[in-house]
Amino acid sequence: MKGNKENWKKKLPLYILIAFLVATIAYIFIAPVYIIKNIQEDSKKPKEERVYSTSP
């Protein structure tokens, strides 16, 4: 079992890559929800106070 403890160090870059991919996919799905929610709340405000305004 001694060789098994050293084995995870060889696979560490793979684990980092998998964690990065999972975080990226989660961000892609979660970020639009917050953006849409912010725009919906912003659209209730008067035009002068809006943050996410499309017009200059």
Residues 12-22 as b/e (b if ≥16 CB within 10 A, e otherwise) read eeeeeeeeeee
Which residues are CB-neighbours of 39 under 8 A, at least 6 positions away? 52
In total, the chain counts a number of residues equal to 56
Element (H, E) at 31: helix 12-43
Answer whether 0.75 is exceeded by the pTM.
no
Provide the pLDDT for residue 1.
46
Contact (Cβ atoms closer than 8 angstroms) between residue 42 and residue 51: yes
Residues of the chain with pLDDT under 50: 1
- Phi first, then psi: what are they for 9, rounded to 5°? -70, -35
